[in-house]
Amino acid sequence: MDTKKFFQEIRSIIREEIDYALDKKLNQKSNKKDDISAMKHGLTMYNESQSPKKVSKPKPKQQKTEFGSIKELLAETKRSLQESYEMEDEFRFTADMAEGFGYERGSAPIPQGFSQAEIPTEVMSALTRDYSALMKKIDEKKGR
């Protein structure tokens, strides 16, 4: 049997079963007690939804911590973020500035308590690498 005929047969069987189940369900006598209780329940739910809302208790005032209320902290954070965005136009980090962090070119800042021999060569090469070309490309891309 090919697939097209197979699916047609399955569809016809399903339709027959659905028709049979619907006829059986529609011909059943409904239980009037269940219908009446369902209607009463629906009417009470409707009446509850239409009645005026109960006044809820007023919310307790926010307790202030040693840093202030949460609302104040959020407002302060928002202000500081806005200020940082405004200041972004005033100060831009460029490739020329990368060289002036108090270290000579080719030397790496080594934390106290360590010697240069203790630091892995991969780390030292990353610290002493010349990143000025990379910074210039970034500046070009940003249009500075």
Q: What is the pLDDT of residues 109-130, one digit of tens each?
A: 666 676 767 778 888 788 778 8
* 86 and 117 together in one domain: no
Sequence letter at residue 19: D
Output the pLDDT for position 101: 58
Phi and psi at residue 7, in whole multiples of 5°?
Answer: -70, -35
d(CA 44, CA 41): 5
Residue 28: inside a domain: no
Its pTM stands at 0.22
Residue 144: inside a domain: yes
**pLDDT exceeds cutoff 90 at 44:** no
Structure tokens at 77: 């954070």
Going by C-alpha positions, the residue among 102, 100, 99, 97 that lies closest to residue 144 is 97
Range with the largest mean pLDDT of 76-80, 96-100, 112-116: 76-80
**pLDDT exceeds cutoff 70 at 138:** yes
* 109 and 142 together in one domain: yes
Domain count, the chain: 2
Residue 84: inside a domain: yes
